Amino acid sequence: MNTPPPPEIRCAERNAIYSSCCGVTGEAVLTDSAVILLYAVTLGAGDSLSLLTTAVLPLLNGLLILPMAGFAPRFGSRKLVICANIFALAGYMVVAAAAFAGRWSVPAMLGGILLFSVCQTGFVAGWFPMLDSFLSPERRTLFLGRMRFFHQISAVAFLAVLSALIGRNPGVYLLQAVLFAAGCIFAGRIFFIWRIPPFPECERVTLSYWQGLRTAVRNRPLALFSGYSFLLNCAMFGIVPLMLLCFKSRWQLADDKILLISAAAFAGMPAGYLAAHQLRKKLGEYGVFIGIHLLLLCDLVLLFNLSPGGTASSLTATGCLMICNFCIAANSVVAGARMMSLVTPGNKTLAVAFWGAFYYGGAGVARLGAAFLLGAGVFGSGRLPANFDRFGGILLFCILLTLAGGLFLLFPGLWRSTRKQ
């Protein structure tokens, strides 16, 4: 394989980081922050439907990434990520304009999020093969950690500025302005991807789509690790949006405080991305996953026992959400590296998509399940202790999922590599 000259690689890495900063900042505002939750509530969506807005993107990533992976090699990864982001931007602007739709504002918002999410699935399917065309295996973990660190810092900075400027209880049109501004930032992803020099795809495809899928399914270590990633993400990914809604409806915090907590919680992610590489070197992958489970369990137990109160309660809750995002970030880097070590040569695209279906699906199911439990009123019937309200009951469920995911760590086959990095 011909290695591109270092200046071209540096140019590609630099523009990939810039594009990631723009894309993730816009994406975080629309799918992960308090902004979209407050916007949905202001438009008239209830708690359950508001939480559902954060579930659409990861859920569709899990459902569609395998079909998209079959489509990507024919279309070309670079062309796919550019086209997908152009249509995703259109969906973003539909969400921002939804308040102008009157009584159709909530359906318009959900339709825009749906379009954005479908297109982002195409982006995910093409983005990692595109990165792999210029990243060497020995640079992969370091570069991914660095890229994710910078894009989360961008998101934290944007949300922190918002919390300072937006006021105590912003109206719908101010939230619209925020979404339009975030959409313009998201457009920067397209610009910087366009500036990445084209490289030949590194992998020689030797299997058909169905052969590649069967190979991935029969790869026992990969299949076990995919199941593990699903359960761990089911436990982690619903916590932050659930608690942001709890601060709004149960704790009765002002919107600017919720935005500030949202920004502070995001700060846990760059810390996790920055620490992941060193933790992997010192503890090994197994040690990192054990540490994530222990930290997450302590975090969830503390959140479960928190009650609405003064500044101390708010600061403790913020710290807990930062720890949760730290675990999510560290897991994404180490899990991505682990997954790549389990891939069968010649089947990279389908194997990555197979794992991604479980990884993103777990994140989507976490939020979809939390939205369903909130709407169905499974907890908080009045016959249960105070901590078992509709929020505390879901946190307890996350504790059980964390324990269940930990059982996967007992399988020795999970730690056998299919190939060397």
Burial per residue of 198-222, b for 16 or more beta-carbon CB atoms within 10 angstroms, e otherwise: ebebebeeebebeebbebbeebebb
Higher pLDDT, 106 or 45: 106
Q: What is the pLDDT of residues 149-169, one digit of tens each?
A: 888 889 888 888 887 777 777
Q: Flag whether 420 is in a domain.
A: no
pLDDT given for residue 204 in this prediction:
52
**Taking phi first (over 0 means left), then psi (-120 to 50 degrees means alpha), and beta for anything else, what does residue 169 get?**
beta
- Looking up residue 146, the CATH number of its domain turns out to be 1.20.1250.20
pLDDT given for residue 235 in this prediction:
87
Asked whether residue 420 carries a pLDDT value surpassing 50, the answer given is no
Q: Flag whether 122 is in a domain.
A: yes
Mean pLDDT, to the nearest integer, of 244-266?
A: 83
Chain-wide mean pLDDT for the chain? 82
Which amino acid belongs to residue 3? T
Domain hosting 253: range is 6-198+207-415
| Number of domains making up the chain | 1
Q: Flag whether 1 is in a domain.
A: no
pLDDT given for residue 414 in this prediction:
60
Tokens 């499974």, residue located: 378
Q: What is the pLDDT of residues 282-315, one digit of tens each?
A: 888 888 888 888 898 888 888 888 877 778 888 8
Q: Are 149 and 278 in contact (CB under 8 A)?
A: no
Q: What is the pLDDT of residues 26-73, one digit of tens each?
A: 988 888 778 888 888 888 887 777 778 888 888 888 888 888 877 777
User: How far is CA 269 from its chain centroid?
Assistant: 10
Which amino acid belongs to residue 170? P
Q: Are 347 and 212 in contact (CB under 8 A)?
A: yes
Mean pLDDT, to the nearest integer, of 358-362?
A: 90
Mean pLDDT, to the nearest integer, of 75-90?
A: 90
pLDDT given for residue 89 in this prediction:
95
pLDDT given for residue 345 in this prediction:
67
Q: Flag whether 421 is in a domain.
A: no
pLDDT given for residue 183 in this prediction:
94
Q: Flag whether 338 is in a domain.
A: yes
Mean pLDDT, to the nearest integer, of 377-400?
A: 62
% of the chain surpassing 90 pLDDT? 18
Long-range contacts of 317-320 (CB under 8 A, 24+ apart): 317/243, 317/247, 317/261, 318/261, 318/264, 318/265, 320/243
Maximum average pLDDT range among 10-14, 33-37, 82-86: 82-86
Q: Flag whether 285 is in a domain.
A: yes
Q: Are 197 and 11 in contact (CB under 8 A)?
A: yes
Q: What is the pLDDT of residues 181-239, one digit of tens each?
A: 999 999 999 999 999 888 776 555 556 777 778 888 888 888 888 888 998 898 888 88
Which amino acid belongs to residue 38? L
Asked whether residue 382 carries a pLDDT value surpassing 70, the answer given is no
% of the chain surpassing 70 pLDDT? 89
Tokens 């907890």, residue located: 379
